[in-house]
Structure 1
């Protein structure tokens, strides 16, 4: 039996944690141990002060083809047991303080689609195919996608993708704003890693954490509440060490050395 440790791999490069879904023989279809190991890997990276960005990708020719079909065939109780606890759901990456970049190297469907949207930035390889798939399996829009997808794409586009469950190619995904950049397959992971490493080296961890929190919280705030929160945060940032360091570094023509994020 596969373990979570075998099916989720982690390595570190340039202050970036690279998390790889590792069931290539099954297009990285998710099992429960794998889902739990992935959530644990995200939390561990987010708690590590040496990690300033995270890249998520898949081994082999797929990113994540959804839930393992063997689980779906075991009946309702087995499927219910498969669903992660609320704190481990695919939106976990949105709740982290560290930016998460997805390097989508191949097919994406179902819970894999939710994992992809749980990232903050999405790179996709040319030739990859992406689908929600739920309606074609007699399921509903799972893992909060009925809330998130309309906020990313607008109601009309989100409804079309969710109702049809159809696959779209990388170019269409980029055109409608579902992903940020399409690159050649051989360039995918280097491009995503370079982007994440630039965040890690050139951006203040406190800024990255605050901006993530602002953007996702403001989806549910009124404009007035969002503005009040922004002004409060601005007042703190004006007196913080990172602005002073950024200005000094520019004056001295050197890279900034920002304060590590308090991970407590």
Structure 2
């Protein structure tokens, strides 16, 4: 079905979809084909009720080295705002997520980036738009833009300070220097650091725990809360939480959450 990505279910849990950028000879540098396929795969996983967690990774030695330079050289200025990339996303109502890569937070399921190698430029953008970032000790990071005569694109100037703080964000964006996995963990650019041969095992085990033992309904709501609270006051966030808690207490998953705890058995959440 796809030419430059692959999609499979994890052996750890059938509820975990693994989306792999698959141009290993080019360190999974992004093309128009891969960009369209990645968005299609994410939307399909979001619509598939059997999928509860999405893991994004790269084939071979790289995560994503950014836009393929051959395509970047011929990128017309109008492409950045072309209708086929900027169309509204049905998955989320906020205008803030109606952007080229805004579908990452708009997806209702957690997106975990398993960063196995270089994450530069758009590769780093993808990682930042994910909900969590697990990295191999061989991973390396760079914003890259300033060293190509470009600027902080696709909202990274908003995302990066919220992840690593304003000082680190300025350093990474202005210098566009290469950052090691260890330094990335120290500045909280990544959440977990793994040995290279353990990255996917660890990531998929974590994803399977989310998929099997946590209410999908709760996860959907909490993910939306985490992204939307960045645009809310404390009062607005509290009002949203109060309304969602009222609905949660009346849900099937709340009933099951209490029952499996009292009965000391595996949860059987329906997501409703």
State the TM bucket, normalised to the shorter chain: over 0.9
Give the superposition deviation at 1:80: 4.5
Deviation by residue 1:203-243 (Cα, 9 ceiling, x = unmatched): 11111010010011000111111111111111111222212
| Number of the residue aligned with 2:60 | 60
| 8 Å CA contact 1:249, 1:255 repeated in 2 | yes
Alpha-carbon distance in 1 for matches of 2:204, 2:52: 12
Q: How many residues align?
A: 258
| 8 Å CA contact 2:55, 2:111 repeated in 1 | yes
Q: Unaligned 5+ residue runs, structure 2?
A: 90-98
Comparing 174-183 with 231-240, greater Cα deviation is found at 231-240
| Number of the residue aligned with 1:255 | 266
Alpha-carbon distance in 2 for matches of 1:204, 1:56: 21
Return the match for 2:211 from 170, 189, 200.
Answer: 200
Alignment RMSD: 1.8
| Number of the residue aligned with 2:240 | 229
Alpha-carbon distance in 1 for matches of 2:140, 2:146: 17
| Number of the residue aligned with 2:172 | 161
Q: 1:67 to 1:245 in 2, by over 3 A?
A: same
Alpha-carbon distance in 1 for matches of 2:62, 2:84: 22
Alignment of 1:87-106 (within 5 A): 87=89, 89-106=100-117
| 8 Å CA contact 2:67, 2:121 repeated in 1 | yes
Q: 1:20 to 1:75 in 2, by over 3 A?
A: closer
Alpha-carbon distance in 1 for matches of 2:157, 2:119: 17
Alpha-carbon distance in 1 for matches of 2:262, 2:232: 38
Q: Unaligned 5+ residue runs, structure 1?
A: none
Alignment of 1:1-264 (within 5 A): 5-13=2-10, 14=13, 15-74=15-74, 76-77=76-77, 80=80, 85-86=85-86, 87=89, 89-260=100-271
